[in-house]
Amino acid sequence: MLESKERMSNIGPLALLKVPQGAGGAKRFADWLMREMKKRPVGAPFNLRYQPPSMTSLPMLETVDAVDLNQHCHRITLNGPADDKSLYETVCRLHEQRLDRRLPLWAFYIIDGLTDSRIALYAKVHHGIIDGRSFVDVATRWFSTDPSDRTVRALWEGLPQKLPSGRPRRSTPTLTQIGAGALDSARSVVSLFKAVARQAQASAKLRPGLPLPFLDAPHVLRTGPKVERILGVCVLPLAQVKAFGKAHDASVNDVLLTTLDMALSQFLADKGHPETSSPLVADMPVALKNPGQGGNKVAVLQFPLGTPGATPLGRLAQIRKHTANVKQHIKDTSASALMTYTAVVHGIPALMELLKIESGPMLANMVISNPFGLMEHRWLAGADLLCTVPLNLLAPGQSLNITAVTYDQGLQICFMGFAAELPDIQVLADMTMTAFERLQNSNGPTYVADAASRKFRAIENKAQPNREKMES
C-alpha cells in the first residue's frame, strides 16, 4: 500500500555464474538453462498475487492456481563483452520497474554477453511476498553444494511447505477461532504498549534499552523520492571478520556495522557534510518466525551507531551495546506487536513524503540488513556460482540501503542508492574495505588480504576509478 513508482518495493538476488566447459558458450548455456528452468513447478510464495483493500476487506495475498512462466521469465543479451559496471547499470534499470499487480509479484532474467564466459541471473520479487531470510531459504534449495550435480532447479520452486492435514479448510472462522484471534490481538496491543513505554523510558535515560525513533538522527542521506538507482559492491573476507569479532567478543553483525559506520563517517566527511554530535541511526530489519509461509514477516527497529569521533574499537563497543538492546527488545516484545510498530512508525515518513513535507523529523539515515546467506560454495547445473549480490529497496525519506549476505568465504555487501544523490556510491563500497583494514589494524598487525579475499575483490571490484584517490 505504501509503494510508489519512485519507492518500488522490489528486492532480489543478482547471481553471477561461470559457464561450465563443454556447454557451448555462455549464450547457448543461458538459453538451455532458461528452457530447463521453465519446466520446474511454481511454489509459494511465487504463486501469490496481491489483492488491494476494499470497503469490506483488508489487503491480502491470494493463491493463483496456474502461473504462466512466459510472463515472468526473460532473456537479455548485452552488447558485450560487458563488464560488471555495465551489468549493474542494466540490472538497476530492471530493478526500477514496478511489478505488474495483476500477476504474481516477481520477474526473472537470465543475462549473457558478459566477460569471462559468465552469465547473470537476476530475480525481482516484491518485498510484500517474501523477506530476506526466506529468500536465503529459497537460494539454499536453488543452488547445489555438489559441482557434479547437473540438476536444474528454479528460484520459483519456492519455500518448503507443510503438508496439508487432509481436513478441509473452513471458509468462515469458528467462534473458537474468532475468540482466539481476539485474545491474540489483545495480547499484541498490551505487548506493544509495554514496548513503547520501555522505549520512552530509555529515551529519557531512566533505564537502558532501545530508545524511541525521531529523536537524534542527523539530517544526512535524506532526499525526496526518485526513480533511478545505482549500485556499489564490495566483499569483506569472512574468516577475518569472524576472527576479529571473536577476539573482541563481538558478532559478525557487530563488526559489519562498525566497519560500515567508519566508512560512512569518512564518506560523508569527504563530501563536505559537517560532523554532528549525534551518531548516525540505522534501520535494521529483523526476521521473525515465518516457517515456509511466504509473505513478509519482519520487524524494522532503529538504533544509533557509533559516536562521531570515536576510535574504531570505541565504535565497536558502542555498537555491541546498541545491538544488545535491540535483541533484548525483540525478546521482550511479541512478534505481532513488533510488526504493528514497524508498520505504524514507517508509515509516518511515507505519509510525509506523499504529502511533500520536507521539514519533518528523520526516522533513520539508512537501512542496514544482514540476512546471512550461503556458507558453502554453490553450483547450478554444473555452473560455478561466483557471487550473489542482494538488491534491496529504499525506505521513505532515505537515499541509501546496505544489504550484506555471506557466500562461501566472503561477506558480500550491496550498496543501493539514488543515482542523483550518490553517483559515487562505489567509493563508499571501496571505503568499506579500507575501513575494515583500519579496524583490524587498530588492534594488531597490518592487515594483509589472503588469496580468497583477493579473488573476491577481483570479481566484484574490477572498475574502481576512485580507488587510488581514496587511498591517497
> Which pLDDT tens digit goes with each residue over 100-132?
999 999 999 999 999 999 999 999 999 989 888
DSSP notation for 42-90: P-TTTTEEEE---SS---EEEE-S---GGGTEEEEEEEEEE-HHHHHHH
The average pLDDT across 453-467 equals: 41
Confidence of residue 262 (pLDDT cuts 50, 70, 90): very high
The average pLDDT across 140-164 equals: 86
For residue 175, the cross-strand partners are: none
pLDDT of 423 strictly over 80: yes
Confidence of residue 459 (pLDDT cuts 50, 70, 90): very low
The average pLDDT across 300-327 equals: 90
Residue pair 122/13 in contact (Cβ under 8 Å)? The answer is: yes
The average pLDDT across 373-400 equals: 92
Confidence of residue 180 (pLDDT cuts 50, 70, 90): very low
pLDDT of 167 strictly over 50: no
DSSP notation for 323-369: HHHHHHHHHHS-HHHHHHHHHHHHHHHHHHHHTT--SS--S-SEEEE
Residue 235 per-residue DSSP state: E
Of 51 and 95, the structure prediction assigns the larger pLDDT to 95
Confidence of residue 193 (pLDDT cuts 50, 70, 90): low
> Which pLDDT tens digit goes with each residue over 330-372?
888 888 777 777 777 777 777 777 777 766 667 788 999 988 7
The cell for 86 is 555495465
Q: Is the dihedral of CA 165, 167, 170, 174 positive or negative?
A: negative
- Mean predicted lDDT score pLDDT of the chain: 82
Surface-to-core class of residue 416, CB atoms within 10 Å of its CB (0-12 exposed, 13-18 middle, 19+ buried): buried
Per 3-state DSSP, the chain is made up of helix, strand and coil in percentages (nearest 5) of 35, 20, 40
